[in-house]
């Protein structure tokens, strides 16, 4: 089994679809990724700000597993770290299977808490036609599966870099399945 680790870290100061890969990002407790357009205590995603700008920001950090990129490449898409707007690209951790409240220890000191699933949007199709459908699936019961990553809040400050280890700390049971946030 592959040890869980960070593959890439990304951020962008403005609201763009892609984020630029960095040598390191700084996570700030209660805020998110320093220098990223989505940093803040309250919602920063434009559609959510329009609905209610006082909502807490449960989407401070966006993570995607590199295994999704492998799956997408197998069906003809060319995707790399940061291109789907994520801040942290991971390997060796089943992000979509984590329960709500899971804490991820990143690098030396940073700790984030998983809040929910990223809800894919039509910007994916503007990047590569058909990509939105490719990151959606259905389970055996017909329930929609969103594969475009997870969202988290920052609990403890810290620097995060590619190759940093990721340690998972599950919440107390009963586990709550991730829903879109």
pTM for this structure?
Answer: 0.95
Average the pLDDT over 156-181 and give the result. Answer: 97
Residue spans per domain, the chain: 5-169
Which of the following CATH numbers is that of domain 5-169: 3.30.460.80, 1.10.3720.10, 2.40.33.20, 3.40.80.10?
2.40.33.20
- C-alpha to C-alpha distance for 154 and 158, rounded to whole angstroms: 9
Average the pLDDT over 31-57 and give the result. Answer: 89
pLDDT tens for 86-120 read: 999 999 999 999 999 999 999 999 999 999 999 88
Average the pLDDT over 42-51 and give the result. Answer: 81
Q: What is the pLDDT of residue 1?
A: 53
- C-alpha to C-alpha distance for 151 and 124, rounded to whole angstroms: 17
Nearest CA to 9 among 35, 45, 47? 35
């Amino acid at each position: 089994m592959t040890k869980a680790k960070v593959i890439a870290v990304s951020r962008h100061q403005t609201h763009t679809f892609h984020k630029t890969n960095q040598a390191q990002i700084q996570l700030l407790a209660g805020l998110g990724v320093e220098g990223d357009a989505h940093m803040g205590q309250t919602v920063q995603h434009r559609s959510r700000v329009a609905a209610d700008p006082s909502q807490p920001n449960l989407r401070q950090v966006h993570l995607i597993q590199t295994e999704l990129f492998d799956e997408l490449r197998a069906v003809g898409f060319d995707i790399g770290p940061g291109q789907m707007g994520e801040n942290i690209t991971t390997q060796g951790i089943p992000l979509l299977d984590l329960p709500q409240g899971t804490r991820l220890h990143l690098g030396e000191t940073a700790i984030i808490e998983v809040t929910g699933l990223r809800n894919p949007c039509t910007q994916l199709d503007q990047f590569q036609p058909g990509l939105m459908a490719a990151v959606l699936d259905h389970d055996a019961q017909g329930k929609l599966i969103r594969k475009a990553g997870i969202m988290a809040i920052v609990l403890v400050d810290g620097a995060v870099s590619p190759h940093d280890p990721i340690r998972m700390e599950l919440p107390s049971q009963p586990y709550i399945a991730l829903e879109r946030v």
